[in-house]
Structure formats: C-alpha cells, structure tokens
Amino acid sequence: MIGRIRGILAEKQAPDVLVDVNGLAYEVQVPMSTIYQLPAVGKEVTLHAHLVVREDAQLLYGFYTLQERRMFRSLIKVSGVGPKMALAILSGMAVEEFVRTVRVNDIAGLTRMPGVGRKTAERLIVEMKDRLEEWGDDIASPDYSAPAADEKPSERQLSQEAEAALVALGYKPAEATRIIAKAIKADPSISTSDELIRQALRSMAQS
C-alpha cells in the first residue's frame, strides 16, 4: 500500500495531478479541497495517498491532509459509494461541513453533490453517523485563503479547465457549462481555474 507520495508537482489539471518522484511520474486523483492547497507547478508537494487496486487498473488517490484521507476511506466503505463519488463529496464540501451535514440529517445538502440521489444520501447519513462519533468536535477547517498563484490564463481557458474538472467530478457537460458561466458572471475578477471551480461548487452547495 502506498501511504504517502512526495515529489515535484509536474502537472495540475483538476481533479488529476502528476507528481514526479525522482523521474517516475505518478498520476494522482485528488479532491478539490486538496487542489486548493497545492503549490504551484514545479514546486515540491507531499500527498497522503490511498491506492485502489482493481482488475483493470491501479488508481492512486491523494489528499493534502490526513483528515481528508480518513474521510475518503470512511466514505468508500458506504454501500454504493465509490472513489469517484467520495472525491465529488470532498470537492463539494469541506470535511467539517460534511460532518455537520450528516449530524443534522441534511439530506438535501448531500443530494446537491453530483451522483448523490436521495437513497444514497439517506444511506450516507445512516452509515456515517456512527462512524463520525469518534471524530469528536475538534475537526479543523481547511485554509483556502492562499491558493497557489499561476500564470493568468484567458477566460476561455479558465472556463474549459473548470468545466473539465466538474465533468470529471460527475457533473453533466451541459450542467458544468451552465454552472461555470454563472460563477464567472457572479465574480468576473476570478483569475484562476481553482478559484472558479471553488466558486461554482460553493454556489451549487448553496442553491
């Protein structure tokens, strides 16, 4: 089992990153909560990892904090929840927000996540509530105040990157285009795809 990976961030195209470890590049899928905290491309990065071995592939998932990985591992134990849905949930809401959503039985909040229907939301609340008791009330909030600064892309490039990320997280292409267009209209000053995706996901969670 690969538990941690440290190397140079070679590529970053949410929800996938490429980490170069002494010349060997690992493809890693990460939630948006991790994307927001990554350094600029070319800088060193350390990710807590989880390896999923299937008959047709070996998939590596990475997380900026141990808390994120712990939640991911709990989520994929829920019946009907696979790694893709777990990443979508962690992308749409922070760990402490998910914990709060489960504890107050907020089914509507969960169904705003792509691929999460009412039955899955109900199952998440039932199966996760007991597991979350051991988390206590000291769940730290992530710091998203200082995302890595990249070269400013064009608005079209921003939209394309953000839409691709949302589609990869489970949104339909037409829905992703609509969400991103709405986010740009709400805040034309957005200058990075990370900020745009964050704004889009935030607006979906609040709708």
Domain of residue 190, CATH code: 1.10.8.10
Q: What is the dihedral of CA 120, 122, 126, 132, to 10 degrees?
A: 80
Q: Is 144 within the bounds of a domain? A: no
Q: Is the pLDDT reported for residue 146 higher than 50?
A: no
Q: Are residues 10 and 39 in the same domain?
A: yes
Residues 9 and 44 reside in one and the same domain:
yes
Residue 163 lies in a domain: yes
Do 122 and 75 belong together in one domain?
Answer: yes
Q: To the nearest whole number, what is the mean pLDDT of the chain?
A: 84
Residues 130 and 170 in one domain: no
- Cβ 93 vs Cβ 101: under 8 Å: yes
Distance CA 168, CA 165 (A): 5
Do 51 and 85 lie in one domain? The reply is no
User: Each residue of 25-52: pLDDT tens digit?
Assistant: 999 999 988 988 899 999 999 999 999 9
Q: What is the Cα–Cα distance from 182 to 190, expressed in whole angstroms?
A: 12
Containing structural domain, residue 101: 66-135
For the stretch 9-18, pLDDT in tens is 999 988 899 9
List the single range of 130-144, 170-184, 185-199 with lowest mean pLDDT: 130-144
Q: Taking 90 as the threshold, does the pLDDT of residue 156 lie above it?
A: no
Shared domain check, 45 and 71: no
Say yes or no: 50 and 75 in one domain.
no
pTM (2 decimals)? Answer: 0.74
Q: How many CB atoms lie within 10 A of CB 41?
A: 16
Distances (CA, A) of 87 to 111, 156, 168, 180: 15, 26, 10, 19
Residues 75, 58 share a domain: no
Number of domains in the chain: 3
Both 55 and 71 in one domain: the answer is no
